[in-house]
Chains A and B, each alone.
Chain A
Amino acid sequence: MLTKFSKALAVTGHYGSGKTNLSINLALALKAEDRKVVLADLDVVNPYFVTADFKELAASAGIDLIAPAFAGTSLDSPSLTGELGGQLGSGATVMIDAGGDAEGCYALGSYAPRIREAPYDMLFVVNFFRYLTGTPEQAAEYMKEIETASRLKVSGIVNNSNLSYQTGVEDVLQSIQKAEQLARLTGRPLLFTSVERGLAGKLGETGQAILPIDVYVKTPW
């Protein structure tokens, strides 16, 4: 389900939808397809728990990581490097982990003219357990805001609904129904549902595309 992705792939969604963890999983999966992968962290909103935390993991997997200039430091100054512009259209698969919310997508919007020069994919990641995207209607509203801010169109929905360590099989199954409703409401395809690997094994036959993922964004304990 990943091979079809274009060489420019933006990952967007409400903050807390799981973009960062999903981006790392997708980057590793695309790398496994022998692509040259560049993972760009455009999150200039969140101070902690961001893609920029995964420099070592990316390096060991052969993924180029582009992070905000001062990520991981105490300089609370949201600023991006010029690297991303250089990588777009270079032949590499450039995955962009956009910042949370529509606010975070303004940074993505500044690259929109370059991204639109070639076919691109923009994923809308949704977690129906987050407070502002609890219903398909709310999520559809959010998607619109993100498209306006980023000046790009969402090409597909990823259902990443989870309650962190409390997620159960029923939670995932119910979220798939909501994700299908969201797809109908917005006319965008539901690409797949991403589920933590252990839990994915317990789902049984869902008739749905399920992407088992690993949890990389972890607490210190």
Chain B
Amino acid sequence: MAQRLLMKGNEAVAEAAIRAGCRHFYGYPITPQTEVAAYMSKRMPKVGGLFLQAESEIGAINMVMGSAAAGKRTMTSSSSPGISLKTEGISFLAGSDLPAVILNIQRAGPGLGGIQPSQADYNQAVKAAGHGDFKMLVFTPATVQEMCDCVFTVFDLTDKYRMPGMLLCDGLLGQMMEPVVFPEPVEGLPAKPWAVNGHRNARPGNLVNSLYLHPEALEARVRERFEMYKTIEETETQAECFMTEDAEIVVVAYGACARIARSAVTAAREAGIKAGLFRPITVWPYPKRELTGAAKTAKAVLTVEMSMGQMVEDVRAALEYKKPVEFFGRTGGVVPTPAGVLGEITRMAKGEWL
């Protein structure tokens, strides 16, 4: 049996990235993400990799762009305010068709906000991780083990589609300790014949660029990407259903919040309420078909987030505004309780929706 270890989310995700073939990490400390950089600084030199503490988050994301252009599996991590600084670079990655992984261990905002956990960067990650027409793969693991597993998937998919991908986590997941079993290290990374290589083979060389001199050429390239996004939306969605088969109240939550919601759903079932949980694992692409299926028997849907309600708009859209979709959340670094969620389920089970 593979070795089980007790790991902090932030350490585990860093170790998993190394096992997934990442040898270039550029970061900058910020609570509650700092252990990712700290772990990388200890481990990377031992595996022949590079850890570099950049002068800022902006420096780090641009270094990521350099390593990605050279065809290396590369990653950066930060927490909310630091991710805002990286958004220009994320747009440049997308515009240059470069794969890279960005980890956000969310804390409360806006502004400096606070260091407690939050999910208020959902819209930023899913709708506008930078300027321009583009999408980014966004995974939302709910356990330390899943953080590890998702890192492998995100690296593979970003390479496959040549686009940036994000692991959208929260401070709770980053800071908590759980048992993990690491997947075996990846051997033989995919070839990247498009990467820049200092012209060690013949010209004409590869060009990595996001500037287009003619609007028609830019439009054509963006349209090509959007055709690819359509394929991704059809093939790469992931979600988990818990007791949704006959559920009258379906709770939708992701990340650490989904674990709180799951406790509430279990308690509701014990009280005789037909409740279920739908947990998106990808939030772009959003698992619309899976949600529609899970909500088939639902009279009403409750979305729970550590924010003022961001994913709830995607839930309403996915269900085509045909079912009542309510929202329950806490923000500012306050974590919702299972009792709070149960209270909402109980009210809605009586047929009361707002």
Contact = CB atoms under 8 A, between A and B. Distances in A.
A15 B10 CA distance: 13
Interface residues of B, number: 33
B335 A220 contact: yes
A120 interface: no
Give the 5 A-B residue pairs with the shortest CB-CB distance, closest first.
Answer: A74-B114, A163-B179, A221-B263, A129-B6, A221-B259
B17 to A, nearest CB: 15
B178 A129 contact: no
Interface stretch (A41-49, A79-87, A142-150, A203-211): A41-49
Interface string B196-218: 00000000000000000000000
A221 B177 contact: no
A131 B171 contact: no
Given A74-B113, A76-B115, A47 B6 contact: no
B8 interface: yes
Interface in A151-196: 162-166
Contacts of A48: 32, 116-117, 171-172, 175-176
A179 to B, nearest CB: 16
Interface residues of A, number: 21
Contact of A127 (B6, B15, B172, B256): B6
A127 B178 CA distance: 13
Nearest to B174: A48
20 contacts: A16-B6, A16-B7, A47-B31, A47-B115, A48-B171, A48-B172, A76-B115, A129-B5, A129-B6, A131-B7, A162-B6, A163-B4, A164-B177, A166-B179, A219-B172, A220-B172, A220-B256, A220-B335, A221-B260, A221-B338
Contacts of A129: 4-6, 179
A127 B171 CA distance: 23
B337 interface: yes
